[in-house]
Structure 1
Amino acid sequence: MHIQDLHGPSAVTATADDHGRLNTVTAIGTVTASAAAGSAPRSAPLRVDAQRNLEHVLRAAREVFGELGYGAPMEDVARRARVGVGTVYRRFPSKDVLVRRIAEEETARLTDQARSALGQEDDPWSALSRFLRTSVASGAGRLLPPQVLRVGTEREQTAAGDISEDGTRVPHQRRVETSAAQQGGLPAGAEEETDGGPGAAELLEVVGGLVDRARDSGALRGDVTVGDVLLVIATAAPALPDPAHQAAASARLLDILLEGLRSRPA
């Protein structure tokens, strides 16, 4: 026989032994502890589900924006993530916020890939080639913010266009100018548009190191800039419905583009 008194803060449990005598055990705080233990798991699944939904949304956003560009609607992202569009907006109040998140993550990924190539390849051409192949294979080039391409091209064109007094071209020097926004010449928020977003300067700096080494070694054409290399990444990452066809097309296109970057004997 089992008798339980659950009145008050204590739980009194009585059990009958084999001879019919009652043995009483009192567990102070048992009810409170049980209630607390029982209530905790109820919120845990919500946190897990929320995290899972966030991962689905980010993965879907990379796929959709990679295939259709950053102009794709949020409804497409929600459909690909298999969640309601309201779920997307709860995490990202506007499309700009989601686009900025994806762009920042892909810029950081490209920077890591460039830094890894610099550190793991002694040969300058091999380092540049490794970076291009890795970045194209990862698909990050399709998600490179357009501002980064523009800023990279503008900076490199300025540096490459210096002419000395005797009419010869000044050796290449990378420049990282202070933006008008940093100088107070633009309203708040304009700096991201001017500089290509958070992490863009670091990406241009690291990729610039790859370009400098390859150019100085004579393996890379002298007129190739950081902007050109980033353009190769964006161009050589086509979005095709079949993954195998996409990988094959990307590899073939990149081979052609790499040959175009190589310097040729005079």
Structure 2
Amino acid sequence: MHIQDSRWGSTSVVAAAADGHGRRPGESARTTPLRVDAQRNLEHVLRAAREVFGELGYGAPMEDVARRARVGVGTVYRRFPSKDVLVQRIAEEETSRLTEQARTALGQEDEPWSALSRFLRTSVASGAGRLLPPQVLRVGVADESSDAVDLGVEEPRVPQQRVQADHLRLVEQRPAPAEEALDAGIGDAGASALLEVVGQLVERARAAGELRGDVTVSDVLLVIATAAPSLPDAAHQAAASARLLDILLEGLRSRPS
């Protein structure tokens, strides 16, 4: 289904043909319904893109997005002239979404562990981990390695070999162009905002003695990505996510010596 989404669409052309002033006698220009349809199509495309990329990764083709949105692929390309633009839009929205979830947990929970666990539960329940941009993980590793040097720590708190393996698992289904689009699109501002607020959650929980001393921001983001499986049945997916997150949270907590 192809819907003209320009404000100078076919409706306005027909109206213009009726008289010399762009409307029939006694009738106003009918561009608003067209804009409403275009906005509805945009919402369908964005929702479909989140679902498809969440299930198949950012390497999924635009045709799959159009099919899920029940629009023609031409409609998708009118809104997003290339797949890279759509990937950037979804990744930016998801990064912003995670940042807001972290800020909410930080502002509404007095107990450090409650704040961190609330953020993780909210993020996993929303399916955010399936759309977590790989660039955010790489930035997190770089930032924490630098912090370790500044603090005089002899070795990085996140073993590089382990992070690389986890990173590969997250993006192995995603072709390089999609990953490059994420790197180019999110920018330092969005990634830095997310890392800063999650870092506050981590530091508070660690200072309170409730979080293992070796747990980093990258570990927390990996928990979000790992505990958000994509299963065909929504109820099974929710149950599996909750169970897995419970296990992972137990692994994050510090234990009395």
After TM superposition, which residue ranges in structure 1, 4 or more long, deviate above 6 angstroms?
167-171
Q: Structure 1: any 5+ residue segments left out of the alignment?
A: 1-31, 172-189
For these two proteins, the number of residue pairs brought into alignment is 213
Partner of 1:24: none
1:90 counterpart = 2:78? yes
Larger proportion of strand: 1
Partner of 2:127: 139
Q: In the alignment, which of 92, 100, 106 is matched to residue 88 of structure 2?
A: 100
Q: How does 1:24-173 map to 2 (within 5 A)?
A: 35=24, 37-40=26-29, 42-161=30-149, 164=152
Aligned equivalents of 1:68, 1:207: Cα separation in 2: 26
Q: What is the TM-score when the length of structure 2 is the normalising length? A: 0.77
- 1:38 maps to a residue whose letter is E
Higher relative contact order (CA 8 A, sep 6+): 2
1:193 counterpart = 2:187? no
Q: CA deviation at 1:119?
A: 0.5
- Relative distance call for 1:237 and 1:122 in structure 2 (3 A) is same
Q: CA deviation at 1:37?
A: 4.9
SS at match of 2:211: coil
After superposition, the CA RMSD in angstroms is 2.5
- 2:248 maps to a residue whose letter is L
**1:166-215 CA deviation, whole Å, 9 max, x = no partner?**
x88999xxxxxxxxxxxxxxxxxx99738953511000000000000001
Larger proportion of helix: 2
Partner of 1:265: 256
Q: What is the TM-score when the length of structure 1 is the normalising length? A: 0.74
1:203 counterpart = 2:191? no
- Relative distance call for 1:45 and 1:142 in structure 2 (3 A) is same
**1:13-66 CA deviation, whole Å, 9 max, x = no partner?**
xxxxxxxxxxxxxxxxxxx8x8465142x3222111100000000000000000
Aligned equivalents of 1:258, 1:157: Cα separation in 2: 23
- Relative distance call for 1:150 and 1:79 in structure 2 (3 A) is same
Q: Structure 2: any 5+ residue segments left out of the alignment?
A: 1-20, 158-179
Q: For the Cα contact (< 8 Å) 2:88–2:181, is it kept in 1?
A: no
Please say which of residues 192-201 and 121-130 is displaced more in the overlay.
Answer: 192-201
**1:82-118 CA deviation, whole Å, 9 max, x = no partner?**
0000000000000000000000111111000000000
- 2:32 maps to a residue whose letter is A
Aligned equivalents of 1:140, 1:96: Cα separation in 2: 19
Aligned equivalents of 1:64, 1:37: Cα separation in 2: 46
Q: How does 1:194-233 map to 2 (within 5 A)?
A: 197=187, 198-233=189-224
Q: In the alignment, which of 215, 236, 240 is matched to residue 227 of structure 2?
A: 236
**What fraction of aligned residue pairs are identical, expressed as a percent?**
78
Q: For the Cα contact (< 8 Å) 2:145–2:156, is it kept in 1?
A: no
